[in-house]
Amino acid sequence: MIAKSVLGLISLFMLVPIIIVLLSWFQPMADIWSHMYEYVLPQVLKNTAILLAMVIVIAGSLGTLLAWITSMYRFPGQRFFTWALMLPLAIPAYVLAFVSVGIIDYSGPLQTGLRAMGIDAGIPSVRNVWGAGIILSLAFYPYIYLLARQAFLSQGRRAIEAGQMLGLSRLQVFFKLALPQALPWIIGGLLLACMETLADFGAVSVFNVDTFTTAIYKAWFGFFSLTTAAQLAALLIVVVFMVMLFEQFWGSRRSSTMTQGDNRRFETSLLTSLLMSLVCLSVFLLAFLIPFIQLIYWTAKNYQQDFDARYVDFVINSLTIASMTTVFIAILAIIVAWVKRQYPDRVTRFMATMANLGYVVPGTVLAVGVFIPIAWLDNQLIGLGISNSQVLSGSVLVMLLALSTRFMTVSYQPVDRQLQRLTPNQEAAARLLSDSKMQRWRQVILPVLQPGVLTALLMGFVEVMKEMPITLMTRRQGWDTLAVRVFEMTSEGMWGRAALPSLLIVLVGLIPVWILLRQSEKTR
């Protein structure tokens, strides 16, 4: 019972920010909301709908197409593109956004180079909702690519051959046989991409596009109304939860017994194979290689001017908050996974799910949900004479709580998967070897958990390093991280000076991609 009580407290701890945000609707703000309803919400809803539609169509088409050709056909560079098309996961959407704008803008290298050749291209501005939709699609298509490729690989070549024996062409086999079977996986990837789109703050800020996340930020720091920000956050929670319910529905329709199909690939004509290579190369260049090279160029160009003692603080602050959060959520993940294993009843599973609910909630929402009770507690301390100023608001504690709620599931998933490898026979043998629980943990359970815990620490660390809105909205003035530095520089249009912190974030972001690649190789 003590273990279940601990799990209940962890679940409640994770749910408090969401509950606080939802309760904000009991505080009416008629004056501000009349302005929001007339001038802000219509544009926010329109932009959000356009972005979601573009991500669904573009990212869905790209991810599915790339997954199909890399898993079913042999063409020049196929082995390279199989893993290279996952590399855009290492570039945060806000980095891809400002690099793309910096390249395409009138003063950027693309139009400057064209004018030098006497070509006045007259490229329209990309700082609008359509440009943001394209960039978000390039940033999030790997979610669909990963899941769709797993689905296609499980079908294997024999599925296509069976369809062809029935007189279907390969194109007909794709639309009538392969695609319907893979649809639950593709939709699962699409819904993940949609949740990331709803949660995005940095990329839409670069493109000057108002969405829920930017409206929450402006309500807090523009109108100085934390209540209005919380009410906007509550609306966003409703939208996100609707998407999450769809994801749960389609997730239940996916096969839980994925098997590896026949991995022999089809040969095709020279023209078709070259076309496949060209498609993969184009996406790889646009989504990863060109932005990565541009970051290196800008960093080299501005390094001496930009790098100073402040960067030591940026790096130290980033490493500090990332390390603290990672260790904290790893400990919580081990506790939650272990309690769920020891008490596999419905209530325990529900509490474990609630403890991981924060990952589907955007960072702006959690920032508001954590800051409100902390600010209230600060005011109570001042009222009681214990403190004469706000000591908790803007402290590392606020960031730690919000980041832990947001990324708990990033640590929990690898720990839980690894713990499932511990068989009942191994546990029984451990009990026979020792009566001491600590000794059993040290000699049997921890060695089994070690790979999962290591993955949890690495992936949690990287996710915290990349997180922008929580750190931006909850830090104290002057306590900047690499992600905050990127936001400040891009807000002023200084693309070159945002390159150095962005490059550091991208290099760190390659770690989870490498982990994913290794895991996919082991399961092949």
Domain coordinates in residue numbering, the chain: 2-522
**End-to-end C-alpha distance for the chain, whole angstroms:** 41
Other CB atoms within a 10 A radius of the CB of residue 270 amount to: 9
* Weakest-pLDDT range from 164-168, 327-331, 411-415, 459-463: 164-168
The pLDDT of residue 205 is: 93
Residue 266's beta-bridge partner residues? Answer: 73
* H or E element in which residue 247 lies: helix 226-252
At 481 the three-state DSSP class reads: coil
The pLDDT assigned to 92 comes to 93
Q: Is the CATH code 1.10.3720.10 the one for domain 2-522?
A: yes
Checking if the pLDDT of 429 tops 50, the result is yes
CA distance 35 to 33: 5
- pLDDT tens by residue, 385-399: 776 666 777 778 888
Tokens of 295: 């970051």
Query: Do the Cβ atoms of 477 and 394 come closer than 8 Å?
Result: yes
Q: How confident is the model at residue 60 (pLDDT cuts 50, 70, 90)?
A: very high
What residue type is 492 in one-letter code?
E
Helix (H) or strand (E) holding 407: helix 396-419
Residue 31 identity (one-letter amino acid)? D
What integer pLDDT is reported at residue 51 of this predicted model?
96
Strand partners, 73: 266
Strand partners for 163: none
Q: pLDDT by residue (tens digit) across 285-319?
A: 999 999 999 999 999 988 877 777 678 888 899 99
Q: How far is CA 287 from CA 34, 80, 276, 375, in A?
A: 41, 15, 17, 41
